[in-house]
A and B are shown apart, each in its own frame.
Chain A
Amino acid sequence: MRAVQSWMQEFAPIAGEPQEIADQLTSVGLVVESIETVGANWDGIIVAQVLDLRPHPEADKIQLVDVDTGDGVPLQICCGAFNMSVGDRVPLATIGTVMPGGMEIAQRKLRGEMSNGMICSASELELGTDHSGIMILADDLQIGQPLSEALGASSELVFDIDVEPNRPEALSVAGIARDLAAKQGVSFALPEISVPTYGAAANDSCAVVIEDADLCARFALRILRNVSNGESPQWMQDRLTAAGMRPISTIVDISNYVMLETGQPNHTFDLDTVPEGRLIVRRAQPGETLTTLDGAERSLVAPDGSGIGRGLGDGVITNAEGRPVSLAGVMGGFDTEISDGTTNVLLEAAVWDRMSIAHTSRRLNLRSEASTRFERGVDPLGLERALDRFCELAVELTGAEIAPGHVIAEPAPIEPVVVPTRVHRVNHLLGAQIEPERMVELLGPIGFECGLFYMNDAGQQTFDVTVPTWRPDATIEADIAEEVGRHYGYENIPPRLPVSLQHGELSPAQAARRRIRSTFAAAGCSEAIPMPFLAPGDLAAAGLGSDGLTLTNPLVGEESVLRTSLLPGLLKVVAYNQSRGNLNVRLFEMGAVYLPNADGELPDEPWSIAAILDGADAADAVRLLREVGSSLGLDFRVKNTERAGLHPTRSAEVIFRGKTIGEVGEIDPTVIEAYDASGRVGWLSLLIDPITPGVTAVPKAKKLSRYPSSEIDLAFVVADSIAASAVEDSLMKAGRPLVRSVELFDVFRSEQVGGDARSLAFSVKLQADDRTLSDDDVSSVRNKMINEVTKRHNAALR
């Protein structure tokens, strides 16, 4: 909303520097986005009179003009225009003037002749587009007077305000002026409106019936006769332009002017196109259409019975025959629009159901200054004033004859909201100690009428606040507290810190997530944050099944599926990096995936951490798993298994405390190709929740043995079908209780070993807590381990 200062001053003697006013507006919640000076910025431009016109001795297209600037002394100007005569009054930009376009006027020589200023065209003064010649001023202007004074035109100061949805009244000049006047402590008044009336009463010429009471709370009509349309006066055009609207014609300009001033939109029908001047207000019926004044035929939506959103249906105004003539609050009809030939006007203002207007205007993409105001709520008791102001201006500017009286329809009388307000509650919500009398002083000027103080049933000091009908948002005590706070000034409420008796901390699970994340970083992986949306088919292309949950209204199709795995997102990131020459990236992501649940239930959102290793194989991924496991103190087991999306012969599930909690290996080469990546890509993914207890567990120290350990190496030839981990497990088991660790240190394949087998060499560390191991101890354990492995796994000792 663009608030023009001079316009606001018609309601209150607002004063102050522009920045000061802007700060005051901002402090009451009317955030000033910018301060602008619009219109005549004519400092340095004066009225001058032409004394003499002479040809320039050296140039055909320039003449020499002597002007009088008020002192009678001729001042020579070089001028490129020839449309003036001796005696004419013209606008002269004196030396040093900065023109509205930014050019600075300096004394200069043109082909040897001195020019002491510039005589201006209308367009140079931004008074229209005429640049064909010098602007000739009226003969009665005083020579030497500043042009802005002489023309009575001054620049308009405009505050561009971001109006919040709870402040519909601030979508009007009067509303902003009221709030600002209250802040400045100056009086605010709506000027008296006087409308001379003539002829037959309005209710002889028009009538209205509201059929759907929930659509329209109040509807008002006036009749204007013998209207002559034309161009509105300059002052009105200037105001509208400053406020950001384009002047069109007197009637349209008055309509917009009144809307901007009062906040109440209005609509004009050509009375002669409305049979008997009778209107009916109701919801649209199935199959109805209306050609709106932009010429488009609109299919109207009837209520669907749900009473919610678009289901409310469109509101319409029909004529007596039941044919829609206007789309309520959104756009008028083509057939009843006023035209150049219109002489009699049916002027309407109404209060529409906010939701209905919101949904109709959005559905048809017809949001306008009017629909915005209806959506936020107009003042139901302000209709007459808005119509009267229209009429007052119409009499003045078009010579209209106004029929006596208003025609009003209201399904129920408008009752203002009264909020019993407890003094202590207001102070409680603000955290302030404002005296009760001060509250009344703050509320009164903004239209919140306060009753006398009394004790409520609980013995609390209370006063009844009557909410002005232009503030439909204010209905409860907290709203009153906000009004008090706004005008008391948030900055005047001393801040205080609430005392939290709890100590702040992360939950164990949150702390564990941080630790897991830094462990992956320490292991050489950088954190990526891909978007969680996938394109349809992305999951299938990754071998991960069909699309899971989809969005109803995605912005683009490529972002319409919620991921069920971190793999597609991370693989896309690898492909992106490869395409930019960033090879062998090691990345991880920690985040939620979305797994559909039974119908209607919210999906499960388990968190995982996944690492993707470009240019690395499954062994690298297993090493990462071991590094992470060692750092976090987690004993992960790996079991060769096919996993969806992974290389079928290079994948395994990760087991923790007997449960499968993740997977490790390489991504399937076909999947890599489908994602436009190349090479081997290692993969590790772990579920967060099941490993969290292990991460948060506090390790307990074990007593270290004081006795020396013995190391023995054992190598076996084992069939490829038997996992090395199985052999390792057997060694651990057979070596109890002396075995401390078993570590695979060599894998060897050769013809000698055999085509479908390999040699696995383990280093085994033995130790006792109570003695140094004897040779017999060692050989006994060694034999047990060899027996176990050779028997159980049909292996041969090398």
Chain B
Amino acid sequence: MPDLPPVPSIITDLDQNVQSVLSRIADVSDTAALDALESETLGKSGLIVSARKAIGEVSPTERKLVGMAVQESRTSIEQALADRRQFLAQGERALRLQSERMDLTEVIGTPSVGHIHPLTQAWEELEDTFIGMGFRVAEGPHVETDWHNFDALNIPKGHPARDAFDSLYVNNGEPGSTVLRTHTSPVQIRTMLEQEPPIYIVAPGRVFRRDTADATHLPVFHQLEGLVVDRNIGLADLAGTIESFTKAFFGEGFTSRLRPNYFPFTEPSAEFDIQRPDGSWLELGGCGVVHPNVLKAGGIDPEEWSGFAFGFGIDRFLSIKNGVDDIRDAFTNDIRFLQQF
């Protein structure tokens, strides 16, 4: 076995110094001190740099050996620094997290977001359903002429049916000439007078009747009216539209039916009911094929065009959907009521 060449003293010195550094690293207790130690040992005047400088002074045969030793020393110090740094970081993170502990149930403050009235929510949901079916939204004034509210809808002056609407008249112009609209139907007339067919509109809006307020009635309430005028429109189209709306708005399990009824502004006329999945029926509204006199009042030739109309109350959805059992509660505007929606 050949003799091993003697270990140069530079290497043994380096080993000693590295051992000392490694033990100092192990003793360091914070990252700042570790940073200082790193620059002390690996920096410009550190022991590795000094050792590398000394490589030139050893014999060429030892140079490789010393070079390897310096590289090993550097690696071991770097590794020790990294290990120690990770160890310290963990401890410091733990300390910080501990010191930052919060009770998230002791947070002060109440939400400052407002709530949209459930009527508006129902209203918009209805609008969106019909928009999805190709309808647009039409509007008209609340204060109407008696012509738009009655005559044009085939309810002539003096007709007893006018009394059935319990109209609220407005002191404006000739006595009896101005009325708070009793239904959204005058919007049909305004739309027909403004727009050529085909017409596919819904008219949601506020309406007024001389009704004493009770759990299911208010003198001011809201309706949604639909009107279609196109070529070759009949009762079947009305039935299909009501059925499509029923499924879209209430859900797949719901169906609808029409049954004969009477309204002055439609002929034939019908009432439409919605059947719930449990088989029970909900009377929803009135509808029918637009009376030729109404089309004429809207400037439309009933021989060329025909149409259907339908209408129902929106306020009822507060009861149907939201379980409001006294409609008056919805309009006291008590914040505790509004915040539920």
Give chain A's interface residues, CB within 8 Å of chain B: 26-29, 31, 164-167, 307-309, 311-312, 354-355, 358-359, 362, 375, 427-432, 476, 478-479, 481-482, 485-486, 490-491, 493-498, 500-507, 510, 514, 517-518, 520-533, 549-555, 559, 562, 573, 576-577, 580, 582, 585-588, 592, 594, 596, 599-603, 605
Contact = CB atoms under 8 A, between A and B. Distances in A.
B24 interface: no
A599 B170 CA distance: 12
A605 B141 contact: yes
Contacts of B164: 165
A494 to B, nearest CB: 6
20 contacts: A308-B158, A311-B158, A312-B158, A362-B160, A430-B234, A478-B291, A481-B289, A485-B260, A490-B257, A500-B135, A510-B139, A518-B116, A527-B120, A531-B219, A550-B170, A551-B171, A555-B210, A576-B334, A577-B335, A599-B173
Given A375-B160, A498-B228, A554-B168, A164 B261 contact: yes
Contact of B259 (A27, A307, A586, A600): A27
Interface string B97-130: 0000000000000001111110110001001001
Nearest to B233: A498
Interface in B220-236: 220, 228, 230, 232-236
Contact of B114 (A485, A491, A500, A520): A520
B178 interface: yes
Interface residues of B, number: 91
Nearest to A475: B267
B237 A524 contact: no
A505 B137 CA distance: 8
Nearest to A583: B335
Given A498-B233, A586-B114, A510 B333 contact: no
A522 B169 CA distance: 38
Interface stretch (B7-15, B31-39, B240-248): B240-248
Contacts of B117: 526-529
Contacts of B170: 549-552, 562
A531 B335 contact: no
B326 to A, nearest CB: 15
Given A491-B257, A582-B335, A600 B220 contact: no
A490 B131 CA distance: 27
Interface of B: 112-117, 119-120, 124, 127, 130-137, 139, 141-145, 157-161, 163-164, 168-178, 180, 198, 200, 206, 210-212, 218-220, 228, 230, 232-244, 257-262, 267-271, 289, 291-292, 306, 330-336, 338-339
Nearest to B129: A504
B136 A505 contact: yes
A443 to B, nearest CB: 14
A553 B142 contact: no
A478 B158 contact: no
Nearest to B168: A551
Contact of A559 (B113, B127, B219, B292): B219
Given A429-B268, A490-B259, A358 B115 contact: no
A251 B340 CA distance: 63
B115 to A, nearest CB: 4
A550 B242 CA distance: 39
Contacts of B219: 531, 533, 555, 559
Contacts of A523: 114
Contact of A521 (B114, B145, B268): B114
B144 A602 contact: yes
Contacts of A518: 116
A525 B115 CA distance: 7
Given A430-B235, A500-B133, A506-B131, A482 B171 contact: no
B237 A431 contact: yes
A628 to B, nearest CB: 12
Contact of A485 (B161, B235, B335): B235
Contacts of A532: 142, 206, 220
Nearest to B331: A529
Given A507-B137, A521-B113, A562-B170, A497 B237 contact: yes
Given A493-B236, A550-B171, A524 B113 contact: yes
B173 A502 contact: no
Given A526-B115, A528-B333, A585-B335, A600 B234 contact: no
A553 B169 contact: yes
Contacts of B135: 500, 504
Contact of B338 (A312, A428, A526, A592): A526
Contacts of A585: 335
A375 B161 CA distance: 10
Enumerate the 6 nearest inter-chain pairs by beta-carbon distance, A residue then B residue, closest first.
A431-B236, A431-B234, A29-B260, A500-B134, A482-B268, A600-B173
A31 B259 contact: yes
Contacts of A586: 112, 114
Contacts of B134: 500, 502-504
B182 to A, nearest CB: 13
B178 A429 contact: no
Contact of A605 (B143, B261, B262, B291): B143
Nearest to A307: B158
A553 B132 CA distance: 41
A308 B156 CA distance: 10
Contact of A577 (B115, B136, B291, B334): B334
